[in-house]
């Protein structure tokens, strides 16, 4: 793959390969790489401080995380919209559902793996923040994508051995039917997501 030299969001489950690709085409002086499990406010501050260091050559600030804190995302909004001269931001994330709509509106998005558009939500990191982001952008989901998310929630719960009640199992089955009938995905995500989070918190 050849990553275009511009600010953008890259959707991938293999951030290491993306970073290695960038390192092959750009010098160490051109790359500022911040890798985190969770990108937090202090990381946003570091990225902004490094961005404002004057540079005469083109450079890329690469932010790679499995999860982006909401407050950190809000802190980055202005600089993503108006970056310093010669500076490009590349955000690497496993799913666009982890990013706020305001972030998504500021940068072009590139999916590096086939099927990423179906939103393979990273359920291992699924929490209230991820659910909130999912609900916020529910209107963007096509019917089949929304159904895929709900099925993914159920598959994750079953794979983890969560003891879903018959009522909860029935809800997941009915949720897919509701989406097929054009129900509001946000409403379906709220209930299904809270069921999943409840079991995830208890670990059973």
- What pLDDT does residue 32 have? 96
List the chain domain ranges. 8-117, 123-202
- What pLDDT does residue 140 have? 79
Q: What is the pTM of this model?
A: 0.60
CATH number assigned to the domain covering 8-117: 3.40.50.300
State both tokens at 95. 């799913």
- What pLDDT does residue 113 have? 57
Whether the per-residue pLDDT at 129 is higher than 80: the answer is: yes
Mean pLDDT over each residue of the chain, to the nearest integer: 87
State both tokens at 68. 């982006």
Distances (CA, A) of 44 to 32, 68, 71, 89: 13, 10, 9, 12
- What pLDDT does residue 84 have? 93
Whether the per-residue pLDDT at 160 is higher than 50: the answer is: yes
- CA torsion sign for 82, 86, 87, 90 is positive
State both tokens at 70. 């909401």
């Amino acid at each position: 793959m050849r990553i275009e030299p511009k600010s953008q969001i890259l959707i991938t489950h293999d951030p290491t390969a993306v970073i290695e690709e960038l390192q092959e085409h750009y010098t160490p002086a051109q790359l500022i790489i911040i890798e985190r499990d969770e990108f937090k406010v202090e990381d946003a501050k570091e990225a902004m401080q490094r961005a404002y260091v004057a540079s005469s050559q083109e450079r890329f600030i690469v932010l790679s995380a499995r999860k982006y804190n909401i407050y950190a995302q809000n802190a980055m909004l202005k600089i993503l919209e108006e970056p310093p001269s010669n500076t490009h931001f590349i955000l690497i994330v496993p799913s666009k559902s982890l990013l706020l709509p305001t972030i998504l509106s500021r940068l072009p998005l590139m999916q590096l793996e086939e099927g990423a558009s179906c939103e393979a939500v990273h359920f291992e990191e699924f929490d209230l923040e991820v659910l909130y982001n999912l609900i916020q952008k529910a209107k963007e989901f096509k019917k089949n994508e929304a159904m895929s998310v709900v099925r993914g929630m159920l598959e994750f719960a079953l794979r983890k051995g969560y003891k879903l009640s018959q009522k909860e199992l029935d809800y997941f089955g009915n949720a897919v039917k509701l989406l097929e009938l054009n129900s509001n995905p946000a409403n379906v995500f709220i209930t299904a997501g809270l069921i999943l989070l409840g079991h995830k918190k208890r670990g059973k």
